[in-house]
Amino acid sequence: MKRAVDLALLGIGSVSPNPMVGSVIVFDNKIIGEGYHQKYGEAHAEVNAIQSVLENHKNGSELLRKSTLYVTLEPCSHHGKTPPCSDLIIRHKIPKVVIGSVDPFESVNGKGIEKLKNAGIEVISGVLEKECQELNKRFFTRVKHQRPYVILKWAQTKNHFFAPVNNQQLWITGKEAKLLVHQWRTEEDCVLVGKNTALADNPQLNVRLVKGRNPKRAVIDRNLDLPQNLHLFDNSTETFVFNKFKTAIEHNTKYIAIEDFDYFLPQYILLQLHLQDIQSVIIEGGAKTLAMFIDNNLWDEARVFTSSNEWENGIPAPKIDGKTISTQNLGNDTLHILKNINSL
């Protein structure tokens, strides 16, 4: 199952809004086939694992009838982009299936396990369950809460300043942190900023320092004040503009009107992103935008860089209460990753 988890992670950034899934097939205590879900709309992990056995072993069909299939998530039992994996397992007469986590999606949620058992297959579930659930924290959040998995990201000085008071652009962290942020962007569906950050930094919010696909972009611009010559409007990547007045699609820019910015704004934004099949979003600033999601308890994970530098003054960094799950040194910076144990 550990191997299956490692395989599943190879699909990060490529399978959303589907879950990441890995599968391993074992005969006589040896792995004879493996696979993972590589791209949204294409074959699932179990299909690729079974196919690898058939392609690499002349007696593959016979081996499958004596093997155990390990999979990180319950095999699907419904027709979606692809046929049900549970039917494929039954057709190849695999006698035993070991599952990491039950699939909370309504069309599956125990039905895959039930179908396998009704076919006489031995099923064991809950193996490395916590690891398998952590693997698909984005998918589980989307299914259970009908919103994206929310990651907050910011950098702060040693004395907890977030940005200069005069909107001047000053880098707080070093190149190691910047490189890691670009890697993170390849792994998530969308990056969101507020109007002030868009004006002060003119960010591209894309991936330039590592290989990978660019995330979609989002900006909060209540009165549509942002100038069109900003990088956000270069049409290079699909971009959502949350505003009060306009709903329209112009090239690669989607304007989404939210009537009342004074109440439930973060909830409305997450709902709209959910409707756009956005499974995860990194909120990169500014301080007001980050605080809005923190104050409404609408965050799942916070990634906070703290530099060794100190400033005499500046905009205070957001205050957050979460459980620190890891600490890492990156050059002259320290990265703290926190989890919200009470996220909504």
Q: Is 46 a catalytic residue?
A: yes
Kindly name the residue from 34, 42, 46, 176 that is annotated as catalytic: 46
CA-based radius of gyration for the chain: 23
The DSSP code for 268 is H
What residues are paired with 24 via a beta bridge? 34, 70
- Indicate if the alpha-carbon torsion angle 189, 178, 343, 295 is positive or negative: negative
Task: Dig out the tokens for 71 from the structure.
Answer: 């999979």
| Largest Cα span, the chain | 72
- Is residue 15 within 8 A of residue 135, CB to CB? The reply is no
Task: Dig out the tokens for 341 from the structure.
Answer: 């144990």
- Is residue 139 within 8 A of residue 18, CB to CB? The reply is yes
Chain position carrying tokens 């005499």: 312
CA distance between the termini of the chain: 30
Q: What does each C-alpha distance from 287 to 13, 63, 217, 254 come to in angstroms? A: 27, 58, 18, 24
Catalytic residue positions? Answer: 46
